[in-house]
């Protein structure tokens, strides 16, 4: 794992955007896994500003709420179009987001997995992290080998996401999410975390044991994982000075 600590959310998001941009520049038909939530907002804004060529890019989003139509204001479909896809030259048929209205959810999930395989897998998976360590919507105790499937949200996640719905009662209980196994099949992962609210989950994920109790900790076990943090999210790391030294002393070509 490479831990990159930046002074501000903006600086962290710009580094994350450069990592994504590098992938698109090296492989114009790259396959990206994308995340939602407050965390990637500045990253997506920066990607739009960079004015990259997305016309051959394919994307797969991590998750969606069961029962929400694509045009629901809190749906991840709506989030992705408003915050990224409407502002870049991506081709609509290359965008994949789980369908919260799927009638046969297991069949839909299998098709999602098949679609990822059909494009030879994900080149770069962008991730945020929940305050309980979830990635996608893989809540604590999710199987570390899980595939795309339906999951039930914890009360903590429903509380955390109530701000998007106006009240906790309106937050769906069920979601479709890529599994942890689906995520870790990606050729590389980039996890962005911002703010003190994420500091404990990050410390456990980076410096604790690999455990289903903190799904993000599985990133310790994959070949290429970059964890980009602002100072607040890095606040509980015991080896932060070491991570800073490593990053500051890298040759420029190796920095991304």
Residues lying near ligand GLP in the complex (CB under 6 A) are found at 35-39, 62-63, 128-130, 136-137, 157, 161
Nearer to ligand GLP by C-beta: 199 or 254? 199
| Cβ count within 10 A of residue 40 | 26
Instruction: Determine whether 132 is an active site residue.
Output: yes
At closest approach, how far in Å is the CB of 78 from ligand GLP?
A: 14
User: Which CB sits closer to ligand GLP, 100 or 136?
Assistant: 136
CA distance 161 to 137: 12
Residue 139 catalytic? yes
Q: Which is nearer to ligand GLP, 136 or 172 (CB)?
A: 136
Is residue 63 part of the annotated active site? The answer reads: yes
Q: How many CB atoms lie within 10 A of CB 92?
A: 7
CB 179 within 8 A of CB 142: yes
CA distances 178 to 88, 104, 159, 233, Å, are: 24, 16, 21, 24
Catalytic residue among 14, 64, 132, 160: 132
How far apart are the C-alpha atoms of 226 and 192, rounded to whole Å? 8
Among candidate residues 63, 123, 160, 230, the one labeled active-site is: 63
Residue 36 C-beta: closest distance to ligand GLP, Å: 6
**CB 52, min distance to ligand GLP, A:** 22
The strand pairing partners of 60, in sequence order, are 33, 96
Residue placing its CB nearer to ligand GLP in the complex, 220 or 244: 220
Report the DSSP beta bridge partners of residue 138.
135
Residue placing its CB nearer to ligand GLP in the complex, 85 or 137: 137
Residue nearest to ligand GLP (CB): 128
The yes-or-no answer on residue 2 being catalytic is no
Cα→Cα distances 92→63, 86, 196, 206, Å: 18, 10, 36, 36
CB of 148 to ligand GLP, least distance (A): 13
Catalytic residue selected from 46, 64, 123, 139? 139
Q: Output the smallest distance, CB 223 to ligand GLP, in A.
A: 22
Burial 66-91 (b: 16+ CB within 10 A, else e): bebeeebebbbbbbbbebbbebbebe
Task: Indicate which residues carry an active-site annotation.
Answer: 63, 132, 134, 139
């Amino acid at each position: 794992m490479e831990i990159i600590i930046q002074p501000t959310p903006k600086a962290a998001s710009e580094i994350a955007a450069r990592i994504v941009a590098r992938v698109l520049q090296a492989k114009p038909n790259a396959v990206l896994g994308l995340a939602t939530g407050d965390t990637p907002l500045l990253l997506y804004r920066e990607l739009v500003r960079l004015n990259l060529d997305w016309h051959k890019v394919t994307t797969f989003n991590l998750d969606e709420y069961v029962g929400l139509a694509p045009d629901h204001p809190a749906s991840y479909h709506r989030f992705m179009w408003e915050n990224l896809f409407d502002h870049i030259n991506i081709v609509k048929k290359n965008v994949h987001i789980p369908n919260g209205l799927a009638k046969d959810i297991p069949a839909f999930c299998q098709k999602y997995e098949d679609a990822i395989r059909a494009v030879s897998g994900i080149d770069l998976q962008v991730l945020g992290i929940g305050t309980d360590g979830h990635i996608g919507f893989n809540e604590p105790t999710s199987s570390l080998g899980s595939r795309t499937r339906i999951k039930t949200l914890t009360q903590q996640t429903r509380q955390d996401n109530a701000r998007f719905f106006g009240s906790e009662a309106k937050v769906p209980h069920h979601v479709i999410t890529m599994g942890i196994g689906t995520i870790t099949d990606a050729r590389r992962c980039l996890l962005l975390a911002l703010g003190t609210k994420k500091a404990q989950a990050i410390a456990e994920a980076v410096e604790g044991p690999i455990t289903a109790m903190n799904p993000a900790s599985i990133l310790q076990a994959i070949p290429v994982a970059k964890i980009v943090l602002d100072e607040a999210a890095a606040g509980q790391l015991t080896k932060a000075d070491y991570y800073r030294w490593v990053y500051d002393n890298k040759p420029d070509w190796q920095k991304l």
